[in-house]
Structure 1
Amino acid sequence: MQIQTNEVNFPVKEVNPLWYKLKKNPMTLIGLSVMGVIILLSLAAPLLTSYDPNKINILDRFQEPTMKHWFGTDEVGRDIFSRILYGARLSLGIGIVSVVVAAACGTVIGTVAGYFGGKIDQILMRIMDMILAFPTLILAMALAASLGPSLQNAMIAIAIVKIPVYVRLARGETLALREKLFVKAALTFGIKPWRIIARHIVPNVVSPIVIQLTLDVGDTILLVATLGFLGLGAQPPTPEWGAMISIGWKYLLDYWWYATFPGLFLFLASGALNLIGDGIRDILDPKSAR
């Protein structure tokens, strides 16, 4: 005797693990939202404002925030809202590029030092120790001053001072990976060391490097602004947040909007990037979630 049963197949909704983890961390979603708004504003700057960020209009100098000039004007009549939007491209772009360059160089140096060891490891790590012996800001200021005040030189200086962090991280991961069976098996089959590093070591080092990179971006944005504030980064009339704050703070008591709005955007951007970095660390590093 056969018993027939009517099976009903209900549609199963696929769950995106990344989205599920993001939903569990609302602060990361806030950071992504804030950062997304800032990026969209910077990209849409030509549509949102008709003012040239570098155009001087002495007749409109030190205008308070109005419907004509949303964030007011500076000491030579330039629209601050326009300068902030265009300055976001520089401040964020230089900060992100500096960290990516530092991470790429540090990963290569760290994996080479960790895999080969011996004198190569000692020489490279002693150089990194020399860089780490100086405070990050002081060394970045010294390098930027010696290279000459400009955005490009500020980016080079920041990348150099950030490299040792990634070298030490990549080296530590490589020291553990080179003892793994798959690396020893590759050596047994006669695969060349550089190919082992490229195909087996670097891909397994990427995850902790990405975590550190996302955590460093917010700090690097502040470092770019600090160099600009000290006159070692962007030079007038370039619209960069740190350079704007450097001039605006002198007029803070009488014209509060000059330094306040660039400082507010700098605070929001660095805070949002730190929240995003914490969230990515929780997603990519299971240990941190515990």
Structure 2
Amino acid sequence: MSGTTLKTESIAAARSTKTVNPFWYKIRRNPLTLLGLFLLLLILLLSIFAPLISPYEPTKINIPERFAPPSADHWFGTDEVGRDIFTRILYGARLSLGVGVAVVVGAGVIGTIIGAVSGYFGGRIDQLIMRLMDIILAFPALVLAMAIAATLGPNLQNAMLAIAIIKIPVYVRLARAETLALREKLFVKAAVTFGIPSWFIIVRHIIPNALSPVIIQVTLDIGDAILLVATLGFLGLGAQPPTPEWGAMISIGWKYLLDYWWYPTFPGLALFLASCGFNLIGDGIRDILDPKANRS
């Protein structure tokens, strides 16, 4: 009898834990999501405490120590002008992660608002917005980003704008699809019947209920945005030297790959780990917020 009671209590405790915090409960059941979370927290903490971790300046030139191999003094070696690569990677993480998150969140907010307006009003407004989005999507994303960045001028701000422009149509389509379904719901029709303004219906009822797919897409797109920022930096269309940006570091370092392997290898590894971390977290959040996954 006591064994049965203990078993019942443990099951009830497990169920109550799952009920209290289902989001964290599902994350703990996914080891890949935990791995992605660990990678991002590690990179984030290293970048925040970079001045305490490394005694070197990211842009200070030290010619006598140029191309020093990895050692106790320089964990990842030095570059062509003697700058510590480990230090530059730490400071570059601030830029890459910050830019990736800012660009995708900004594109997500703008795209969600435009998509909700398009889907709610329909008609000519919807046709105009969606044809414009189709024009943007007709071009390969990287090619269009390169064209916009090159036209506006090679710097980090223009690279961010270019990436945001190519990301917005994805969120417009997601928000529009959700809005088309939500505007047929009874609570939306009731709000219209009571004469509530359209802008209030969109802000209060449409957008909050259309956020789930947008949040999933945001988490999946951050890793891609980081890669795009690095790609534009690699091509000379993003952050300019001596800014410690991973793509710009790889752009210069690959020329010395055969003789000084550490120069492009460690920035490339940091870029790979950051992108993997965001992708793993995005997959986990998709599994959590997906209604089909919840039912299983």
The TM tier, using the shorter chain, reads over 0.9
Structure 1 residues not aligned, in runs of 5+? 1-6
Counterpart check, 1:236 vs 2:241 = yes
Residue number in structure 2 paired with 1:226: 231
Residue number in structure 2 paired with 1:22: 27
Q: Paired residues, what number?
A: 284
1:250 to 255, 265, 269: 255
Q: Give the secondary structure class of the aligned counterpart of 2:73.
A: coil
Counterpart check, 1:280 vs 2:285 = yes
How far is 1:19 from its partner? Answer: 2.1
**CA 1:214/1:74 → structure 2, altered by over 3 Å: closer, same or farther?**
same
Distance 2:60 2:135 in 1: 45
Distance 1:287 1:127 in 2: 33
Higher helix share: 2
Residue number in structure 2 paired with 1:34: 39
Q: Tell me the C-alpha RMSD between the 2 structures.
A: 1.6
Tell me the alpha carbon deviations over residues 105-126 of structure 1, each in whole angstroms, 9 at most, x when there is no partner.
1001100000000000000001
The residue identity in structure 2 corresponding to 1:199 is R
User: Aligned ranges for residues 257-272 of structure 1 at < 5 Å?
Assistant: 257-272=262-277
Residue number in structure 1 paired with 2:221: 216
Residue number in structure 2 paired with 1:60: 65
1:197 to 192, 199, 202: 202
Residue number in structure 1 paired with 2:105: 100
Counterpart check, 1:114 vs 2:119 = yes
The residue identity in structure 1 corresponding to 2:37 is L
How far is 1:241 from its partner? Answer: 0.3
User: TM-score, normalised to structure 1's length?
Assistant: 0.95
Residue number in structure 2 paired with 1:186: 191
Distance 1:86 1:202 in 2: 36
User: TM-score, normalised to structure 2's length?
Assistant: 0.93
Q: Give the secondary structure class of the aligned counterpart of 2:134.
A: helix
Structure 2 residues not aligned, in runs of 5+? none
Runs of 4+ in structure 1 deviating by more than 3 angstroms, as ranges, are 10-14
1:83 to 83, 88, 93: 88
Distance 2:100 2:108 in 1: 12
* Aligned-residue identity in percent: 72
How far is 1:288 from its partner? Answer: 4.4
Q: Give the secondary structure class of the aligned counterpart of 2:189.
A: helix
The residue identity in structure 2 corresponding to 1:157 is A
